[in-house]
């Protein structure tokens, strides 16, 4: 069966951050506000709602003691964030942050709910597998952790959920610092019953079947597609696609979720180079009605990691709108020339 035509994509910057910021992950909340982790700056930022459509000033929520990567919202107003010294001591923690009633300018009080043991190397992307159950990628240990949260997310326990060669990093990958991570972004698709993940160093997009009752793997990881420089992504299970940010390659790509279409990865933005989309790192669907599959928010680092033309620009939050391409008139169809 033929794949759906590629969408047209309109990118609109809605927030700028200083040059040199390494925006890592984002979360769009029900009120339309966008929370963003800045890895090297050890900070959590908020772009206030309602859903930003034009330039909005981001607000600093908190500066942590360690670099911050993944974030999830297991309960309304309650965040669980991953803190990790991936490039030094590998100390890794989960912290709980209650934003109930929070407004810009108010202080917050993070609580450490879990300290990982010495097996942890560098926490990266995270997602919910089910109520109170998280999947957390460890990109230098080459595995995915399962985290079970206690009531109110005030406590947590962790165990290895999956470990596989395709999750491994590549310390000798021949790229400038920072080193290429292994398993990077993770997203659970309850409709298809798989946890999907990118592995940057291994240049693959993979999936793991999930038992709906235990939320543990029901089989080994399966190859979906070959894709290099992949970072994070969002899923459109109804349409059968993932939309993947290619961090050092500066594109947003569409990847079919069905392995039989694994070779049909296509750029939908950034080719040719779009200077608004330099260093795309993460993607999340908007929260307004009709946004899923149509409107996503994308973070960029402006070239902090790898500037394609040697110029580091402002890191940014972009609004990406996907829409059907207008059909070509017969006289404009290049296949008829």
pLDDT in tens, 180-213: 999 999 999 999 999 999 999 999 999 999 999 9
Lookup result for tokens 């060669």? 165
Q: Are 243 and 198 in contact (CB under 8 A)?
A: no
> Taking the alpha carbons of 35, 39, 43, 47 in that order, is the dihedral positive or negative?
negative
The DSSP H or E segment spanning 36 is strand 34-38
DSSP 335: G
pTM greater than 0.85 (yes/no): yes
Q: Looking at residues 92-120, what average pLDDT do you find?
A: 96
Given a cut of 60, whether residue 22 has pLDDT beyond it is yes
Mean pLDDT of 240-269: 92
Compute the average pLDDT of residues 279-303.
97
Q: Is the pLDDT of residue 332 over 50?
A: no
Residues near 319 by beta carbon (within 8 Å), at least 6 away in sequence: 11, 12, 13, 14, 52, 53, 286, 295, 296, 297
What is the band of 260 on the pLDDT scale with cuts at 50, 70, 90?
A: confident
32's CB contacts (< 8 A; 6+ apart) are 49, 50, 51, 52, 286, 287, 288
Per-residue model confidence (pLDDT) at position 262: 59
Distance CA 191, CA 175 (A): 37
Closest Cα to residue 298, out of 279, 314, 313? 279
With beta carbons less than 8 A apart as the criterion, state whether 220 and 210 touch.
no
pLDDT value, residue 2: 77
Q: According to the model, what pLDDT value does residue 327 have? A: 63
Whether the Cβ atoms of residue 182 and residue 163 lie closer than 8 Å to each other: no
pLDDT at 337 over 60: no
Closest C-alpha to 307, from 181, 176, 202? 176
The pLDDT of residue 330 is 38
From 119, 81, 117, select the one nearest 98 (Cα to Cα): 81
The mean pLDDT value for 119-135 works out to 98
Contact in structure between 15 and 23 (CB atoms under 8 Å): no
φ, ψ (nearest 5 deg) of residue 72? -135, 165
Enumerate residues 6+ apart whose C-beta is below 8 A from 262: 223, 224, 225, 226, 256
pLDDT of amino acid 23: 97
- What does the mean pLDDT of the chain come to? 94
pLDDT value, residue 334: 36
pLDDT tens profile 130-189: 999 999 999 999 999 999 999 999 999 999 999 999 999 988 777 788 889 999 999 999
Which residues, in sequence order, are bridge partners of residue 148?
133, 157
And the tokens for 329?
Answer: 């008139």
Q: Give the span between the Cα atoms of 333 and 321, in whole angstroms.
A: 25
For residues 227 and 211, give the distance between their C-alpha atoms in angstroms, rounded to a whole number.
27
Q: What's the pLDDT score for residue 174?
A: 74
The pLDDT, as a whole number, for residue 1 is: 64
Q: In the predicted model, is pLDDT for residue 250 greater than 60? A: yes
Asked whether residue 328 carries a pLDDT value surpassing 70, the answer given is no
| pLDDT at residue 239 in the model | 96
Q: Which domains does the chain have, with CATH numbers?
A: 14-328 (2.120.10.30)
Residue of 272 and 175 predicted with greater confidence: 272
pLDDT at 243: 98
Residue 268 pLDDT more than 50?
yes
Q: Can you give the pLDDT at residue 103?
A: 92
Per-residue pLDDT band for 3 (boundaries 50, 70, 90) equals confident
């Amino acid at each position: 069966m033929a794949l759906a035509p590629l969408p047209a994509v309109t990118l609109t910057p809605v927030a700028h951050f200083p040059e040199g910021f390494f925006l890592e992950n984002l979360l769009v909340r029900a009120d339309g506000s966008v929370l963003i982790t800045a890895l090297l700056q050890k900070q959590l930022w908020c772009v206030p709602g309602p859903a930003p459509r034009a330039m909005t000033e981001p607000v600093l929520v908190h500066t942590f003691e360690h670099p911050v990567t993944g974030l999830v919202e297991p309960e309304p107003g309650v965040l669980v964030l991953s803190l990790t010294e991936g490039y030094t001591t590998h100390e890794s923690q989960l912290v709980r942050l209650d934003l109930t009633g929070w407004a810009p300018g108010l202080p917050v009080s993070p609580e450490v709910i879990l300290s990982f043991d010495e097996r942890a190397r560098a926490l990266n992307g995270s997602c919910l597998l089910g109520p109170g159950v998280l999947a957390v990628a460890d990109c230098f240990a080459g595995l995915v952790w399962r985290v079970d949260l206690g009531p109110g997310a005030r406590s947590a326990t962790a165990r290895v959920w999956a470990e596989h060669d395709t999750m491994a990093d590549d310390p000798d990958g021949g790229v400038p610092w920072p080193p290429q991570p292994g398993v990077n972004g993770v997203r659970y698709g309850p409709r298809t019953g798989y946890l999907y993940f990118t592995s940057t160093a291994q240049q693959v997009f993979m999936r793991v079947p999930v038992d709906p009752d235990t939320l543990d793997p029901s089989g080994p990881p399966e190859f979906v597609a070959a894709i290099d420089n992949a970072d994070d992504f969002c899923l459109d299970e109804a349409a059968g696609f993932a939309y993947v940010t290619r961090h050092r390659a500066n594109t947003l790509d569409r990847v079919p979720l069905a392995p039989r279409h694994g070779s049909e990865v296509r750029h939908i933005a950034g080719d040719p180079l779009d200077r608004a989309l330099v260093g795309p790192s993460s993607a999340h669907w908007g929260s307004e009605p009709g946004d899923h599959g149509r409107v996503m928010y994308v973070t960029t680092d402006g070239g902090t990691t790898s500037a394609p033309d040697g110029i580091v620009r402002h890191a940014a939050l972009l609004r990406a709108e996907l829409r059907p391409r207008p059909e070509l008139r017969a006289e404009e169809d290049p296949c008829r020339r």
